[in-house]
Structure 1
Amino acid sequence: MMLPVALLLLGALTAVVAPRLLARADWPDREPVVALWAWQCVVAGVLLCCALSMTFSAAAWAAVRGHVFATAPRAVVEAYALGASGPWAAATAAALACAGLWSLAMLVREVAGARSRWRLRRAELQARLPLLPGEEPAGGRVAVLEGERPDAWWLPGAAPRLVITTAALRRLKGRQLDALLAHEQGHARARHDWLLHCSAALAAGFPQVPVFAAFRDEMHRLVELAADDTASRRFGRLTTALALVELNEDRGVFGPCPTPQAHVPQRVHRLLAAPARLPPLSRLRLTAAAALVPVIPVLVALVPGLRALG
């Protein structure tokens, strides 16, 4: 039975070709939300190829086949030739099952580690900013900390908070502060933290797979661009760019030497250059094309059955 092999080859082809096409395209920076969707579809397509290949490989065993094809006509089962699989089918199914369990373990570890860091930061915040007598914690409120460095971050959780330092309040004036709030709220509203968790788990679990490393790096970059666009649509590109500059100029990110936050000057330049958005029809086409990536493995898996029924 060649179907599991064909699905694995399709997954490998998707993992190699799709990231290159996205890297060469000029539209992801103009439409970061669509690019986020496209990357998720690519990774979902790769994972779906592996899951379907594992399912059909495991279906070589009669016990598994009875569950997978419980309601299928006999002609459909015979079309897949599941009983003719060689000894490699069991090894393939076991290897892919272990990879799936490893991915789940990495995701659990990533989420658990993130929650532990959130609890630690909340404890530190509570120590630096204790509640007054009779004051109740309110979800979504702003917490102001004494600090000499301008900084702001969104602390997710059951009662999310925007934490901002007094130095940032002194630096950011009027609409710049509003743009910062809109940027952080954009992260929270779109649940970008879950995208970062999933991409980090896959990259940590399979460091030898380039598509997962590229997925993690692009998620970190694109979520910031998407949040920048959320702020700029409400308060203007110039205001959002000035807020970024005021918040980061003391960190040396605009200097001649490369820094870990070299993406900040690129974000500022993008906001000031004001790249034109794609027409709505083009965005719709790209969204639909990306959605086809995880659909193709399903269609490939259904081909033998559809032929038998036809």
Structure 2
Amino acid sequence: MSVLPFLLVACVVLAWSGPVVLTGARWTDREPVLGLLLWQALVGAVLLSCALSLALSLAAAWPAAHAILFTGAPRSVAAAYGIVWARQWVAAGAVLLAFGGVRTLLALNSEFRGQRAWRRRRASELTERAPRLPRALETDGAPGGGRRGRGPRERERLVVLENSAAEAWSLPGPAAHLVVTTGALRRLSDRELAAVLAHERGHVRARHHWLLQSAQALASAFPGARIFTDFLDETGRLVELAADDAASRRHGRLATALALVELNEARGVFGGCYPRHLSELPHRVDRLLAGERRLSLARRLRLTAAAVAAPAVPIVLALAPGLRALLFRG
């Protein structure tokens, strides 16, 4: 019997049940990095299921594709992947899966190229406009209290923009920029400013922009697919929590929470009616001040195992007929 229907069923089950489980999980607030890992594993498993289904359906519908896929394989292995459906339906499914694959690649290419061009323009503007911050801020430690002998971080530039609004952000890339405004310098204490910079460094080091761009591309390519829209929403939320944790581990939860309040209080964010990711700021502050303990080691190991198992499911399903034919032939 063909493994193709099982792969398609696994894809549907993962795409439907995964977002339901993960979006309802409260533990992700305590382990945002692990939450991001599970989301990536889930999306990777769905995409891998589609890719393997495409390969097998192409092999079933067209002899040339079959010959390429099973080149060098014993005849018993090729026979184990026989399709019991009508060939025209398999061909239609292959065309549909191929269309989805092309759409995914085009969306990823467009998103990454567009973001790279935007970052280059912004980096060029910053190079022209922004002076260097004091040397004391170009370390991981608090201003004036960093480790002795540590100079500016390699491939990183800290710049200040003349602006009365208190803002801070990062521009990732080969030469990352950490940007703060003069309003932020006046409003934040030294420790709070150090926490803000550590937060932005957390984004840059973890390459959160790659993850966000991938999620945005998939959500744009398939706007009706819940798994991709939830992936985008949860990724945007969890990367901020992960960066908050990176800052709080080095400079304390209180300083990080106060920095969030100081940077966003003037925007009315804490009035309770602000859109999208800014509406999460009160929760982020409460989370930092609450200081909930991490999950137990045993539970973290179980969740990590689940992340590994998710993409393994379609691989095992796809290889099972061939392995069985090899092991039990004759």
**TM-score, normalising length: structure 2:** 0.88
Q: How far is 1:85 from its partner?
A: 5.1
Quickly say closer, same or farther: Cα 1:83–1:25, change in 2 above 3 A: closer
* Correspondence for 2:237 among 221, 235, 244: 221
1:70-110 C-alpha deviation (Å, 9 max, x unpaired): 12211111111158752111121121112111111001111
In structure 2, the partner of 1:192 is 208
Q: How far is 1:24 from its partner?
A: 2.2
1:105-147 C-alpha deviation (Å, 9 max, x unpaired): 001111122122212322332343379xxxxxx8312101111
Gaps of 5+ in 1: 132-137
CA distance in 1, matches of 2:167, 2:85: 63
Higher alpha-carbon deviation: 229-238 or 112-121: 112-121
CA distance in 2, matches of 1:115, 1:279: 39
**TM-score, normalising length: structure 1:** 0.94
Query: What code does the residue aligned with 2:28 have?
Result: P
Residue 291 of structure 2 corresponds to residue 248 of structure 1: no
1:39-62 C-alpha deviation (Å, 9 max, x unpaired): 000000100111111010001222
1:161-211 C-alpha deviation (Å, 9 max, x unpaired): 111101101111121111111111111111000000000000000001111
Quickly say closer, same or farther: Cα 1:153–1:307, change in 2 above 3 A: same
In structure 2, the partner of 1:135 is none
User: Would you say the 8 A contact 2:19–2:226 is kept in 1?
Assistant: no
Q: How far is 1:270 from its partner?
A: 0.7
Percent identity, please: 52
CA distance in 2, matches of 1:290, 1:156: 27
Higher alpha-carbon deviation: 155-164 or 218-227: 155-164
Correspondence 1:133-148 to 2 at 5 A: 139-148=155-164
Correspondence 1:119-268 to 2 at 5 A: 119-129=120-130, 139-260=155-276, 261-268=278-285
User: Would you say the 8 A contact 2:268–2:274 is kept in 1?
Assistant: no
* Correspondence for 1:302 among 310, 319, 330: 319
In structure 2, the partner of 1:63 is 64
Residue 43 of structure 2 corresponds to residue 49 of structure 1: no
Higher alpha-carbon deviation: 6-15 or 35-44: 6-15
Helix, strand or coil for the counterpart of 1:170? helix
Higher alpha-carbon deviation: 180-189 or 117-126: 117-126
Query: What code does the residue aligned with 1:158 have?
Result: P
Query: What code does the residue aligned with 1:265 have?
Result: P
Helix, strand or coil for the counterpart of 1:162? strand
In structure 2, the partner of 1:108 is 109
Correspondence 1:277-292 to 2 at 5 A: 277-292=294-309
Q: How many residues align?
A: 304
Query: What code does the residue aligned with 2:207 have?
Result: R
RMSD: 1.7
Residue 39 of structure 2 corresponds to residue 23 of structure 1: no
CA distance in 2, matches of 1:130, 1:248: 24
Query: What code does the residue aligned with 2:253 have?
Result: R
Helix, strand or coil for the counterpart of 1:262? helix
CA distance in 1, matches of 2:85, 2:218: 34
Q: How far is 1:305 from its partner?
A: 1.6
Helix, strand or coil for the counterpart of 1:154? strand
